[in-house]
Amino acid sequence: MKIYAISGLGADKRVFKYLTLDHELVPVEWIKPNTKESIIEYSKRLIVEYGIGTDKNFGILGVSFGGLIATEISKLTKPRFTILISSVETRNELSGIIKLTGKSKLIELVPESLLNPPKAIARFMFGTDKKELLNSIIDDTDVSFTKWAIRELMNWKNQSQLPSLIKIGGTKDKLLPPKGDNTILIDKGGHFMIVDKAKEISNIINREIKTYYNKI
């Protein structure tokens, strides 16, 4: 069974290489958003680009901002399960400051040059010691995509909860702190735990999928 995996903001498929899953992982690469394109329309284009939903049995996995895309894709298709890592399921789980900033439209005034933070600050916010990988990802980040993604994150409207959800959050996540009673917590997991806690996350995913399939 294929699991379509969507990385976080500014990241790419490199963050998935540390996972050891019992099913085929298909990394979904970011495509360039159209001018003023909504997250829903963007998700529809990814579905077409990767043929998501053409197989009867498949799953969706999303990390950080990729979790928002995974949620929108799951609402448009019928995955057997959705996995969210270091992410949120609904707008209610976003912090007040994120929602307030979105309403203020301040992101539109921020120059793209300021959206690529100093690497030391990025490592602190992501809570990781894997500085070489994180630095490499930051260097390859498309800041115009970053600006689009931040705007869509701040203004995300989703209120729908997903069926068959596997939601994993880290207790030390500074960017998207875990919320909701349905979150499986990773002790001392930061926002980059998809890499730093890959073995623990892999074990949880494999266990939850197996448990789910044993019920049907």
In terms of pLDDT, which residue wins out, 111 or 160?
160
pTM (2 d.p.): 0.88
Instruction: Please determine, for residue 6, whether its predicted confidence score (pLDDT) is greater than 90.
Output: yes
Which of 28-37, 83-92, 113-122 has the lowest average pLDDT? 113-122
Instruction: Please determine, for residue 33, whether its predicted confidence score (pLDDT) is greater than 90.
Output: yes
- How far apart are alpha carbons 127 and 188 in whole angstroms? 9
- Identify the pLDDT of residue 142: 79
Could you report the per-residue pLDDT of 103-126, keeping only the tens digit for each?
A: 556 556 455 555 566 566 666 667
Asked: is 2-214 a CATH 3.40.50.1820 domain? The reply is yes
